[in-house]
Amino acid sequence: MFLKGKTAIVTGSTSGIGLAYARALAAEGAAVMINGFGDAAEIEKERAALEGISGARALYSPADMTDGDAIAAMVQQCHDELGGPDIVINNAGIQHVAAIEDFPVEKWNAIIAINLSSAFHIMHHAVPHMKAKRWGRIISTASAHSFVASPNKSAYVAAKHGLAGLTKTVALEVATHGITVNAISPGYVWTPLVEKQIPDTMKTRGLTREQVINDVLLDAQPTKQFVTVEQVAALAVFLCRDEAAGITGANLPVDGGWTAQ
Ligand code: NAD
C-alpha cells in the first residue's frame, strides 16, 4: 500500500476507466475523491466500497467538468477535507460521432470543455498544492486519438491532441518540483463510452453492430482484443511510484499496437 497518506482526485470516475483508476489507487491505500454523473445510490455504493478497499476516506464530488468554478471548488474541497491533492487523474470524457458539416456546435463545445479544458482548470488549481509538498503526479487519459485521427470524431481528436500538448507543457513547467505529468493513451477499451458510439457509427457508416465492432473498432487494434480498464489503471498506479519519477511529459499508448502501424 505505497499510496497510504496520499490523496487522489479522479475525474469521470463513476464509470469505466475512471472507476478502475479509483479502485486501483484505493487498493494502494490512497484516499480518493471520485467525480462524475450517475445514479446517486450506485455512486454512494462505490464511494463506500473505496473506503473499504483503501482503509482511507473516499469522497464524491458532483462537479461538472464544463464548469471552471465547480472544478476549482472540487480541488479546494479535496484539499480541505482530504489534504493534497497529491495525485490528479484527468479522465472525464465524452464522445460524439458526426461528419464535420453535421457536427453540432454544442457537442463541439462540450467535448472541448470536458475532454480538454477541465484538465487545464484542475492543473491550474492543483499544481500549487503539489509544489508546496514537492511531490505530485498528474495523469491524463488521452487516447490513441491523441496520436492519430479517425473520420467523424473532429472534436474528440482535437481535444485529445490538445491534451497531449498540455501534458508536455505542464511537465516542463513543474519538472524541478517533484511533479510528473503524463498522458496514458488507450486504444479501444470496452466501456460505456465505446458501447454508446456503436449506434452512431452504424448509422453514419451504414454497418451492422458486428461490423462496427470487428471492422471499425478492432480493425485498428492489431491484438484484436479490447484493452481492459484494469490494464489502463495498472499503468497509472505505476506512474505514481517513485520508480516512475523519471517519466514525465510522456504520452504512453496502451492500444494493442494500434499506433505502431
Ligand atoms: P465512460 O463513459 O465509462 O466514463 C466517462 C466518465 O466521465 C463517467 O464517469 C461520466 O459520468 C463522466 N463525465 C462525463 N461528462 C462529465 C462532466 N461534464 N463532468 C464530470 N464528469 C463527466 O467512458 P470511459 O471509456 O471510461 O472514458 C474515460 C476516459 O477515457 C475518457 O476521457 C475517454 O475519452 C478516454 N478513452 C476511452 C477509451 C475507450 O475505448 N473507452 C479509449 C481512449 C480514451
Distance CA 238, CA 168 (A): 19
Distance CA 253, CA 185 (A): 4
User: Which atom of ligand 1 approaches the CA of 17 most closely?
Assistant: 26
Could you read off the pLDDT of 155-212 as tens digits, one per residue? 999 999 999 999 999 999 999 999 999 999 999 998 887 888 789 889 989 999 989 9
Closest C-alpha residue for ligand 1 atom 41: 189
**Active site (annotated) includes residue 156:** yes
- Domains of the chain (ranges, CATH numbers): 7-187+228-246 (3.40.50.720)
Average pLDDT over residues 40-57: 98
Cα of 184 to ligand 1 centre, how many Å? 13
User: Can you tell me which residue has the cell 477541465?
Assistant: 118
Test site for ligand 1: of 191, 227, 228, 252, most ligand atoms within 8 A of the Cβ: 191
| CB-count exposure of residue 216 (10 Å: 0-12, 13-18, 19+) | middle
Model's pTM, two decimal places?
0.95
User: Which atom of ligand 1 approaches the CA of 114 most closely?
Assistant: 18
Could you read off the pLDDT of 53-101 as tens digits, one per residue? 999 999 999 999 999 999 999 999 999 999 999 999 999 999 999 999 9
